[in-house]
Chains A and B, each alone.
Chain A
């Protein structure tokens, strides 16, 4: 199978950004373009031994200020499948811990001339700040409670593959909306693509004026799930369960954990999604998570690699070319 060809000129016209810092600012046609490209990579990734050369000679750096396994690995795999050299850098054991500032780190890495930086940071806005200081392309791998664009894109692709469309679907996002970058990116993307978005959470886990982001707000999970096509569960961090935001783990699961009884009010073929890692028995019933007919959790991970390949390809189109005819005097 030959890789679907797109000329760089076309790609840069269809995706008009040097960085991917968030869903905010993207247009429906750009999102569709990324999803289409990722779709073709999904098929290709299922072939054994596929390794493309689109990013040959390019360097992808994963810079993770916050621990992550799946997002980092997903980007690593995406980069390698496209032929890039991939370097991982995590905070542990690096000079960041010794007090080097974010900006100093940016300058240092920039001097090593990577082509693409994938950055995750615990502070909202940190990735955009870093992007101002480097000359390469930057992909936001998650910043604080702000955005996680590649997660929203892979969720969109999963939905589209299962439901054939995004427009017109009712999507209910449940859980810690307040601290969730996944929720913010998804709310924006789903609105851009014409879905109807609901959020379900106790009032303490809803950010103020969240309805202004274009969502219907529910505190009662059954009402929020009624008739919906997609259920997106969010992870609840354990430190928020012990009386600070919700009274206890068992109370949270009782009212906001997804089980078959609550899911029964959703559309009969409603799809269950989770960005991972799951807290089984906290936000999702364990046998539901493993139900291959209802849960798309494994598929989300699979298409995640393809989405990241599509993003790398789209940003590639804006990098200065390393054309073979280029010769030094």
Chain B
């Protein structure tokens, strides 16, 4: 049994308990043994002086694509793990749109084994809702759940068929697992490359109307009401979607939603002169939508903040805008971008962190995401105020596709621990 480690002089931040104060945290055998203002380091413990830096539960990112299997040239569990660790993310949930897609129990097992050996942080997998992500036949939801799948999604594809969605929501209730939707009505979004509006019209690009999102979301919410299923909208990006979620929650539906960091950090003008690094799915929206998303984060409508990590190699991005792949490599920049909401005075610190710690933990049914005694010591230590510039060269992801290169941010990860072991140190 290893000697205990004491992190003294820390600003302890625990959204689960509401703790925000100077104190000490003790790790013993990879678990949190004590945390609080009055905790004293035990005799013989190794002491680490945090010098006032924040110590919080490690971030949990429930939407991060990794290229294994099939797209190892874009990202591997090893490189995604390094990026996550450097970003203070101690758990992420990989997505099923791999090649082959994660639609069979054996593949979920493969992911667990691959990740356990190669990845510096904890990895869970979402499995496909439909076979081959084709949106037609349900996968073996029960067997996939037993193999370790934490939720079901067709990744970056929407389940468009209402009957398929209804049955998936209904069937998954037996295992209590959520069905996660990419909320975009495909028939309205087809061929679109960016948000529909003036910018798209000027650039001569076909647009994706914001209405494509709320139409599918509203339909799904009706199906949730009908089936009593657990539903999660992966990344909402529009004002109308935020309103729809607000109303659904008021009605007591088992529906939650996430927001990707780039949807509150950027708007459609970022596309500028056909910058493919600003091509995302759903697309970057108007400034009015961006503001509405910030408001939805502040008022609690949004449950989780995700990176929607989508690593893309140069060959997938150095193309004409319409044919370039969407996505941002976002694991490593999740925390500083989220902290912009705190520094900008939009969201208080603990509620903000809750959306990346205790909320996703509860969503996944994990005991982590808090500083409670007995929980695995997955932690992030960060300087809340330190100014720095995001640089693509500093990204540890195999793909460096970030529109945030050169962006000045505040809040820097100093150290990341997984089960008490340091996996990143600045």
Contacts and interface: CB of A to CB of B under 8 A. Distances in A.
Interface-central residue, A103, A124, A143, A212, by most chain B CB under 10 Å? A124
Interface string B39-56: 000000000000000000
Interface in A150-196: 181, 184
Contact of B201 (A24, A101, A207): A207
Given A101-B315, A124-B274, A213 B320 contact: no
A124 B204 contact: yes
Nearest to A181: B204
Interface stretch (B127-135, B152-160, B192-200): B192-200
A124 B319 CA distance: 11
Contacts of A184: 202, 204
A158 B201 CA distance: 27
Contacts of A147: 204
A213 B201 contact: yes
A213 B197 contact: no
B273 interface: yes
A209 B315 contact: no
Interface size bucket, B side? 20 to 34
B200 to A, nearest CB: 7
A96 interface: no
Contact of B203 (A101, A121, A125, A129): A125
B322 interface: yes
Interface in B239-297: 273-274
Interface in B190-242: 196-198, 200-207, 209
B65 interface: no
Contacts of B200: 207-208
A146 interface: yes
A208 B207 contact: yes
Given A101-B315, A209-B198, A123 B203 contact: no
B193 to A, nearest CB: 8
Interface of A: 24, 101-103, 121, 123-126, 128-129, 143-147, 181, 184, 207-210, 212-213
Contact of A121 (B207, B209, B318, B320): B320
List of 8 A-B pairs having minimum Cβ-Cβ separation, nearest first: A123-B320, A146-B204, A125-B274, A145-B204, A124-B204, A126-B320, A207-B201, A209-B198
B277 to A, nearest CB: 13
7 contacts: A101-B318, A102-B319, A125-B321, A129-B320, A209-B198, A209-B201, A212-B202
Contacts of B320: 102, 121, 123-126, 129, 144
Nearest to B271: A125
A106 to B, nearest CB: 10
A24 B201 CA distance: 13
A212 B274 contact: no
Nearest to A143: B204
| Residue with the greatest number of chain B CB neighbours at <10 A, chosen from A102, A125, A129, A145 | A125
A208 B196 CA distance: 7
Contacts of B321: 123-125
B323 to A, nearest CB: 6
B205 A124 contact: yes
Contacts, number: 68
B274 A128 contact: yes
Contacts of B204: 124-125, 143-147, 181, 184
> Chain A's interface: helix, strand, loop or mixed, by majority?
mixed
A209 to B, nearest CB: 4
A141 B274 CA distance: 18
A145 B196 CA distance: 14
A212 B319 contact: no
Nearest to A179: B204
Given A125-B205, A145-B204, 17 more contacts: A24-B202, A101-B315, A101-B318, A102-B319, A103-B318, A121-B320, A124-B204, A125-B273, A126-B320, A129-B318, A129-B319, A129-B320, A144-B205, A184-B202, A209-B197, A212-B202, A213-B202
Interface string B296-315: 00000000000000000001
Nearest to A147: B204
Contacts of B197: 208-209
Contacts of B196: 208
Contacts of A102: 319-320
A225 to B, nearest CB: 23
A299 B212 CA distance: 45
A210 B201 contact: yes
A143 B323 CA distance: 14
Nearest to B195: A208
Contacts of A144: 204-205, 320, 322
A145 B200 CA distance: 10
A20 B198 CA distance: 23
A147 B201 CA distance: 11
A94 B206 CA distance: 28
Contacts of A145: 204-206
Nearest to B207: A208
Chain B CB within 10 Å, residue with most, of A121, A126, A147: A126
A292 to B, nearest CB: 33
Contacts of B206: 145
B324 to A, nearest CB: 9
A147 to B, nearest CB: 7
Contacts of A213: 201-202
A102 B203 CA distance: 19
Contact of A212 (B201, B203, B207, B209): B201
Contacts of B273: 125, 128
A76 to B, nearest CB: 25
Given A208-B197, A213-B201, A123 B322 contact: yes
A210 B199 CA distance: 10
Contacts of B315: 101
Contacts of A212: 198, 201-202
Nearest to A133: B318
Nearest to A209: B198
A126 B323 CA distance: 10
Contacts of A208: 196-198, 200-201, 207, 209
Contacts of A143: 204
Contacts of B322: 123-125, 144
A124 B203 contact: yes
Nearest to B206: A145
Contacts of B207: 208
A190 B209 CA distance: 29
A128 B196 CA distance: 21
Contacts of B319: 101-103, 129
A95 to B, nearest CB: 16
A209 B203 CA distance: 12
A129 B319 CA distance: 8
Nearest to A188: B202
